[in-house]
Amino acid sequence: MSRRYRILFAISDTGGGHRSGAAALHAALLQHPHTQGFEYNTIDMITSTGLPLLRNAPGLYDDLSTRWLPLFNLLFQLTNGRRRIDTISQIAYVSAQRNIHRTIESYKPDLIVSVHPLANRFIGHARRTYNMPFRFITVVTDLVSLHTAWGDLDADLCIAPTYEAVDLLIKQGMPAENVVYAGFPVHPKFTACTLTVDEARAHTGLDSARYTLLLTAGGVGSGRLRELVVALHNTHPAAQLLVVTGRNASLRAELQRLALPAHVHIYGFVDNMEQLMAASDVVVTKAGPGTLMEALVMRRPVIITEAVGIQERGNIDFVLQRGLGEYSQRIPDIVAAVTKLADPAVRATMAARLSDAVPRDGAQRIADIILEQLAIDPPVIRKHPLILAALPHWLRRQHVGDESRKRLRILNARVIESLRRHGGLSVNWPRRSQRRVRKNTPDRN
């Protein structure tokens, strides 16, 4: 390809999986022989809307997925329907369309690759409203329990990571011809890592003879990781533990103060996860698709400790039904699962199942599809005003006036205020918005 194409990855930092998925695709494209001179950009499409709730999405997600997980699951269920998510997205788009159009137009992309479900409809609406000349595909980064937001009818193609996801997308209304199975976008460095266990341990300075476990902080939550490390060391004092705390410096310091033996290794943020996985016998992680699929691509048995949100629950079934690992929530049960997998024969049986459980080259497959999409002209979009019967009458006009915008700002601010009063969610907005809420809220006394 001689043309200088521009590719825009649309994400949101609500969890690490969406950005890492985009990074994996970016890396795969950079390695492709026909992508010289391409331009790549990554944007947080959700925060770029500028809407009060959405512009704080990363912080709001952190609170909902930890302190307010039941509320997170309730919101998933309440919005998980095509008509419901279409209505909600269009209401938000009416208020944010200028910001969305301005953001996309500033990059002038030839192709937008969305790796976040809530970004999809904003992109599709903007392309249709402003007749923007780009192609648009979605790359699903949940494995089984998909929200209907993933399947956007305006997308030219929807790429699914599992056959279960393909079936569900079609069941939710996506045309079968617009859904493609390609595997999960795991970073190519995991595929390229061909180190044997002994080679990986020698390369990372680890003992080559010990039963080795890799634990991630996300796998058990920072609050339980200390307890799990102590329990595993007491039960398996000879086991080599590789504990990755990520960017949680206080957790790393707390574990280091335990003064455990030298074969218990405490890491902070690492950029050689593929080498640590290659050096491990078992990976202990939560049901998040990113680390889970990295472990499966490295053909390592997994012990899943929890699912953060409804969208991760199907990942547990994905592993258990294929016999690729264990699922245990309580620390004594996790220790029992570790004991079970200490038997080389049990691990060898799982390794045989892992040999072809998931594609190792998902990112490369998707990169090939991206190049195919770039070779196709953008669809001809008939521009029309966004009209929805479910919208309030004051939002049904193509051009939303100042009074309509004022009502939307007040509504969003009231929702935030309600969340803050019932749990202290870490979402802030200017004092001017707070005064507006107080001014327009009737006195109940």
The residue ranges of every structural domain in the chain are 6-186+363-399, 191-359
Class of domain 6-186+363-399: alpha beta
Q: Distance between CA 48 and CA 404 in Å, rounded?
A: 20
**CB neighbourhood size of 131 (10 A):** 13
Say if residue 46 is exposed, middle or buried (CB neighbours under 10 Å; 0-12, 13-18, 19+): buried
First and final CA of the chain: distance in angstroms? 69
Question: Exposed e or buried b for every residue in 230-250, given b needs 16+ CB within 10 A?
Answer: ebbbeebeebbbbbbbbebee
Equal CATH topology for 6-186+363-399 and 191-359: yes
Q: What is the DSSP string of 193-216?
A: ----HHHHHHHTT--SSS-EEEEE
pTM of the model: 0.83
Residue 163 tokens read as 């056959």
Say if residue 82 is exposed, middle or buried (CB neighbours under 10 Å; 0-12, 13-18, 19+): middle
**CB neighbourhood size of 347 (10 A):** 18
Per-residue pLDDT of the chain (445 residues; tens, 9 = 90+): 557 899 999 999 887 789 999 999 999 999 999 898 899 999 999 999 999 889 889 888 888 887 888 999 999 999 999 999 999 999 999 999 999 999 999 999 999 999 999 999 999 999 999 999 999 999 999 999 999 999 999 999 999 999 999 999 999 999 999 999 999 999 999 999 999 999 999 999 999 999 999 999 764 455 588 899 999 999 999 999 999 998 888 889 999 999 899 999 999 989 999 999 999 999 999 999 999 999 999 999 999 998 888 999 999 999 999 999 999 999 999 999 999 999 999 999 999 999 989 999 999 999 999 999 999 999 877 655 544 444 444 444 444 456 655 555 555 555 545 544 544 444 444 444 445 445 555 554 4
Q: Distance between CA 290 and CA 305 in Å, rounded?
A: 15
Residue 111 tokens read as 């192709």
Can you give the pLDDT at residue 406? 59
* Helix, strand or coil, per DSSP, at residue 100: helix
CATH topology of domain 191-359: Rossmann fold (3.40.50)
H or E segment at 389? Answer: none
Q: Distance between CA 443 and CA 445 in Å, rounded?
A: 6
